[in-house]
Structure 1
Amino acid sequence: MTRNIYLGKRVKDTGKKGLDNLREVRDICEAILNDYKRGRIPYAKAMRRLVFLRTTVIKRSEKLVGKKRKAYAIVRRYEERLRKIRR
């Protein structure tokens, strides 16, 4: 039995339940970044959410091929953007 993990309420779920396409990954990352920019969450919480998305939803133990590799790269880019915004 797999459980669905949701990181936010503002990102619309498209397709199947949970993350099943790259647009959802990008939208969640964008929502986390926007929450930080607007002061809704501190930097540490924003970074924890991105790391959680990268490590839990896109499991590193699985082989990173195709969509998983692209999703992993998307989250890493948003982590870097968050670091740059903080400086």
Structure 2
Amino acid sequence: MSRKNRNIYLGRRVKDTGKKGLDNLREVEDICKAILADYQRRRISYAKAMRRLVFLRTTVIKRSEKLVGKKRKAYAIVQRYEEKLRRMKK
């Protein structure tokens, strides 16, 4: 199986709804919440939490695509959680 065709999962605790992979905004927000919760419980470091959020953001929208509709909202959700994580570190 080629790398392009594989589904990307960032955690096992967030239940996949609908189709496989990221297909709605609720899944994106739930994954972000799970990453922040892992950081708060000290299961993962700040650097790893930030890497996961950045990876999620780059998964949601590719560089060559325009930010439209749900992708724009998903991108904004991930950015909001990145800011929350930055504030938690201070």
Aligned to 1:28, the other structure's residue is in SS state: helix
Q: Distance in 1 between matches of 2:24 and 2:63?
A: 17
Q: Distance in 2 between matches of 1:60 and 1:69?
A: 13
Match of 2:62 in 1: 59
- The amino acid of 1:64's aligned partner reads L
Report the CA distance between 1:60 and its aligned residue: 2.8
RMSD (CA atoms): 1.0
- The amino acid of 2:54's aligned partner reads V
- The amino acid of 1:38's aligned partner reads R
Pair 1:47-2:50 in alignment: yes
The answer for unaligned runs of 5 or more in structure 2 is: none
Identify the match of residue 26 of structure 2 among 23, 37, 50.
23
- The amino acid of 1:77's aligned partner reads R
Normalised to the residue count of structure 2, the TM-score between the two structures is: 0.92
Report the CA distance between 1:58 and its aligned residue: 2.3
Q: Distance in 2 between matches of 1:51 and 1:82?
A: 12
Report the CA distance between 1:3 and its aligned residue: 1.8
What number of residue pairs does the alignment pair up? Answer: 87
Identify the match of residue 78 of structure 2 among 75, 80, 87.
75
Report the CA distance between 1:29 and its aligned residue: 0.2
Normalised to the residue count of structure 1, the TM-score between the two structures is: 0.95
Q: Is the 8 A contact 1:5 1:57 kept in 2?
A: no
